Each structure stands twice: as C-alpha cells, then as structure tokens.
A and B are shown apart, each in its own frame.
Chain A
Amino acid sequence: MTRKLPKITVWRAIFAAILASGIYATYLRIFYGLGGSTNLSDQFPWGIWIAFDVMCGVGLAAGGFTLVAMVHIFNIEKYKPILRPAILTAFLGYLLVTVGLLYDLGRPDRLWHPLVMWNPHSVMFEVAWCVTLYSTVLFLEFLPVVLEKFGLHKPLRWIHKISVPLMILGVLLSTLHQSSLGTLFLIVPEKLYPLWYTPILPLLFYVSAIAVGLAMTIFESWHSSRAFGRALELPLLMSMGRVLAVVLSVYLWIRFLDLSHRHAFALLAQNRIETWLFALEIALLVVPTALLYLQRVRSSPGSLYACAVMVIFGFIANRLNVGSTGLEAGSGTHYIPRWSEVAVTLSIVAVGFAIFRLVAEYFPIFEAAKNEHEAAPMEQTETHPVEVA
C-alpha cells in the first residue's frame, strides 16, 4: 500500500497547532503538577477537566447505549446502519474520558484504587465501577467489527452467543452512571446555584444524556457522509429527529415542573451571570425542540444537522453550568480555566475526531449489514435480531 504525504489543509494545520499546545500543556501537568497547569484552588477543586472532559464526554457517548437499546432491545431494525458508528463513538468517548481523568486526578497512577478499595456510599465509587464495566461492554460490542475485518469467525460466534445479556448489561450500566453524574452534585446543596440544584438532578442527567446521544448520532452521520462521500441515511435521521424532539420535550417539561415546584422561577428576575447562562442553556434546547416538530426542518439535512448541533451545545452548556459556573458563587470564588486546561481539552477532542476517522476508514463501520452476512452467513437473515452490530 503506497501512501502519499498528507496535504496541508487549514484543518490539518489547526489540528497540529492544537496538538502541539496540548503536548506542552501535558509537559506542564506532569512536571509542575495541577498547580502549574490549572487555575484550580482549594475553593474551586474541579475545573473543565471534570465539567467538560468527563461530564460532557460521558454524555456525548450516550448514543451507544441509546441505539443499542433501540435496535436490539426494542428491535427497531431500521436504525441498524447507524448503530456501529454510535458504538464506535461511545467506545472512543469512554477511552478519552479516561485520558481526561488521568490529567485531572492528583495521582493518576492510582486510577485503579476504587476497584480494590471500596466505599459503596460514594457516588464516585459507583461511577468508577460503572464506567469501567461499561467500557468493557463497549469493547465487546465493538469487537465484532475487528473480528470481521480479519475474518475470525469462531470468536465472532462466541460473542453472538452472549450478545443479549451483554446489551442489557450495557444499557443498565449506562442508566446508572449517566444519572449518577448528576447525583455527584446532590452533595453540594449550599454551593450549586438553585436554578440547577434539584433532588432530581440524576433524572435530568439521564434524560438529557439520551437526547444528546441521539443528537450526536445525527451529527456523526452528517459528518461521516461528507467525509466518506456516502449518501446520508436521511429517512432514518428524519425519524430520529422526531424521537429527539419528543425526548427533549419530555426533558424540558420535567425541568419546567421542577423549577415551578421549587419556586425557582423568581430567581430569573435577578440580573446575575447565572440567569443569563441559564437562559442560554434553555434557549439552546428549546429552539431545536420547536424546530424539530416542523416536517420542513426534519427533511432538510442542513437544518436537521443545525438542530443536532444546537442540542449538543445546549447539553454542554448544562453540564458546564452544573459542574463549574453554577458552583462559583456558592464557592465564593471565580474560576476561569488556564490556557493549558483548554489546550488539553481541545487536544482530547481533536484526537477523538482523528481516531474516529481512521477507524471508520479502515474498518467496516458503515457497511455493517453487508459484512455481517459475509461473516456468519448461516445464522444471519434480514430480520434476525440477535446479532451484535
């Protein structure tokens, strides 16, 4: 296989610049500690490495469990062509979350400690276990792609045998830790601004994770169809836009009820930074929800993509508000990430995009149906539901 030197494009130049700054920031993190690479303090111990890299990373990877549930448990076969990209995103997402954690933990060499030293009363302990187990499940869900590529039929059949319990386990683990990321913040009732602090944070985190999982699937499909010159699975994505509109409506309605039951709407009259951040977050979720109810918007790839992007940004705004900005006033301090924190975060995102592209180029991600036939012809039929994508 001959390979030409890569052309220098604007995107490649930006990618290289991000990576270079990320490498320098990594040097600072390793040799000068958290103090030398972050703006964290005793009053504000968690920054964007938690609020973005971990909380948004796990959420944005939620497409994996959402689609597995839709295709294999609810048996909605038509979504199958976009199942593999979603599982790949999820698997990469969790790997990158782990990388983010290695930067953030004061002692990254002790990442494994929660697996051995237990404290079942700790939400963080539960999250650690769920994320570890779910990453393993995602690995096994993605493994058939690799096995197919190299024609290893025997292990492929073993995986098919355990696929149903595996998928149910994956959905359960996701349900637990997606919601638990919200539970993490129940311990700070006096610190988190009341527009965000609510006893139902776990429920809100769970429902919004499902929504952003769907939005990410639309986002990926659009990008990969452009990158690989494939036709967009438009009818699929249109119906997914419908599901997304309903999930978002449910989410927004729960939030409305919660705010009104807690009499929190009065807070919106105050001219504070939190009010504006809340308004931004809600607008980024309400606007796409309303638009997605229009047939015209759903049937246009561009508008559908724009809605998905808005949902993703609305989701990110929510996680940053809960995990960072909403805690500032209550902590009596002000936090703005240092450049090195931003550089590491951007590098992780950039590397995620690059790996996704490489894997999608060399492995059968987008021709799942065809390849599964080749792999195990005797047990695969169009309607057979059991195979793991």
Chain B
Amino acid sequence: MSKAILYDSTLCIGCKACEGACAERWGLPYNEKIAAEEKISAHKLTAIETHGDKFCRRLCMNCVEPACVSVCPVGALQKTSLGPVTYDADKCMGCRYCMQACPFQVPSYEWSSRLPRMRKCDMCYQRQSEGKLTACAEACPVGATLNGDRDELIREAQRRLAEKPDQYYGRIYGLTEVGGTSVFYLSAVPFAQIGLRTGVPQEPLPETTWRVLELVPDVVSTGTVLLGGIYWITNRRAEVAKKEGRR
C-alpha cells in the first residue's frame, strides 16, 4: 500500500498554494520574494515553474528504487514502505553523493550554514503515516495535485489519458523513469517542454553500481588466493636459489 502524488499540469493554475503549505509544514519562511523563485532550494522544497502558459511543479520524485538511498554511505536516506524517501540529518556527514547521484537534481544543500543539512521533500512522511494527505495535496484548490494510493493514482492517470486523449500528451511521466517514481506527471505538451528531464535512464540507477559492488567478495577471495599463491611460488624459488647458491 504505497503512496504517491499525481500532478496534472493541465489543471494547475499556478496559484502556488502548494508552495505556501509546504513551507508551513517544514517551518520555512515564505513570502513574495521566495514565491518568485522558480526553483527548488534548501529553503523551498517544492516550486511551481512557468513554461510559457504552462505550469510545472517540482518536488522530490521519491523514486521506487532511489539512487540517493543506495549511494548514502551512512544510510541517512531511507525508502519507506509507505512510499516517501526520508532523511535523517543526524546521520548525514555531508558528502553530498546523494546530490550528485540524483537524476532529477532534487536534493539541495544548506551551503551557507556552518552545520549544513541536505534538504528535500519527503512527501510528508509524518502526515501520511498518520493517515493525512500531504500538505500540498490538501492545499491545492483545483485538484492538480492528488495524493493517494500509488496504484489507484496510476489508474486515475490512465483514465484521464483515455478519456481526453486530445488534451494530453499521451504518457505518464514517472511510470518508467529510473524504474518508476512516486510522483507522476500529466501534461498537455511533451514533458521536455515543461522542464522535466526526459533523458533519464529507464532502469533503476542503483543497479549500475551494485553490479560492481556485488563482486567485492569475489575479488577479495580470488585476490587472496592469487596473491598468496604468487607469493608462495616466487619465494619458494628464492629459497631454492639461496640454497643452491650456498652449495
């Protein structure tokens, strides 16, 4: 029973109610100046972008198999069974590998802080585990952001595409991107035109490094036998040479 968010760009009116609700939920400042910033940052975990007469909302995709979770050396990032990808600032040592690894460039860093943290949307893990909606979905006045069961939201998106094929670009963004995400997008135009990254791989990214990492035990065991064997041979040769030299 994994949760997800469905954002329908064709319904969004760009009122930024989601931004305000998100800031309030995180205890972050929100004013006109911050509202005008059209990108996510350490003090703005979701942002409405304007692309001509279209809007697009940016937030953490809470991937099904998140690159950030797999790369974090201290396990500060976790994929919960509920769906959200959570972050434990007390573990984080600030290597910023999650930021490098994220194919959507979502994690932000508190660059000017002396004790910095990474910041990102966690799909309101706390609220959702209490059975509430995410702050953004609750605040949206037009239903452009829906929050609910992942499978149901996929069916809802497919229903919309089937019912009004002329109003939508016929795909759901997030269904196959990096093996699937927990945030889905519907759009009237191709996704690249509303600023979404379309070049991301269709396979889960943790595979790329795990293919190599899983070889570590093999390398260690084979290497020990090989190096030990070479040592045994070469030094036996030296011992023999020494004895023959003495005779």
Contact = CB atoms under 8 A, between A and B. Distances in A.
Interface stretch (A68-76, A81-89, A227-235, A345-353): A68-76
Contacts of A118: 75
A301 interface: no
A168 B235 contact: no
Contacts of A34: 109, 111, 116
Given A46-B96, A73-B231, A121 B112 contact: no
A367 to B, nearest CB: 23
B73 A107 contact: no
A123 B101 CA distance: 11
A175 B96 contact: no
A328 to B, nearest CB: 13
B192 interface: no
A40 interface: yes
B73 A176 contact: no
A200 to B, nearest CB: 10
Interface residues of B, number: 60
Nearest to A201: B212
Given A175-B219, A189-B201, A119 B73 contact: yes
B247 to A, nearest CB: 14
Nearest to B77: A119
Contacts of B99: 42, 45
A385 B237 CA distance: 11
Contacts of B213: 120-121, 123, 126, 183
A99 to B, nearest CB: 16
A386 B197 CA distance: 58
Interface string B208-247: 1111110010011001100110110011011001100100
Given A124-B73, A171-B223, A172-B227, A187 B94 contact: no
A307 B101 CA distance: 36
B231 A42 contact: no
Contact of A383 (B41, B113, B238): B238
B94 to A, nearest CB: 2
B200 A117 contact: no
A377 interface: no
A121 B74 contact: no
B29 interface: no
Nearest to B237: A75
Interface residues of A, number: 66
Interface stretch (A108-116, A138-146, A308-316): A108-116
Interface string A162-188: 001000100110011001100110111
A75 B234 contact: yes
Given A74-B230, A186-B208, A35 B238 contact: no
Contacts of A32: 112
B95 interface: yes
A193 B123 CA distance: 32
A300 interface: no
Contacts of B212: 123, 179-180, 183, 186, 202
Contacts of A33: 111-114, 116
B1 interface: no
A219 interface: no
A125 B75 CA distance: 9
Given A111-B93, A122-B71, A123-B209, A46 B100 contact: yes
A331 B238 contact: no
Nearest to A116: B74
Nearest to B70: A121
A381 B206 contact: no
A123 to B, nearest CB: 5
A286 to B, nearest CB: 27
A31 interface: yes
A331 B105 contact: yes
A107 B107 CA distance: 16
B74 A114 contact: yes
Contact of A110 (B93, B103, B107, B234): B93
A122 B72 contact: yes
Contact of B101 (A73, A120, A187, A199): A187
Interface in B93-148: 93-97, 99-101, 103, 105, 107-109, 111-117
Contacts of B67: 187
Instruction: Pick the most buried of B114, B115, B201, B205: most chain A CB atoms within 10 A of its CB.
Output: B114
B96 A45 contact: yes
B112 A36 contact: yes
A190 B199 contact: yes
Interface string A227-257: 0000000000000000000000000000000
Contact of A385 (B42, B227, B235): B235
B95 A105 contact: yes
A105 to B, nearest CB: 5
B107 to A, nearest CB: 7
A188 B111 contact: no
Given A45-B100, A114-B73, A176-B216, 11 more contacts: A36-B112, A41-B111, A42-B99, A104-B95, A106-B94, A117-B91, A123-B71, A123-B212, A189-B208, A191-B103, A327-B100
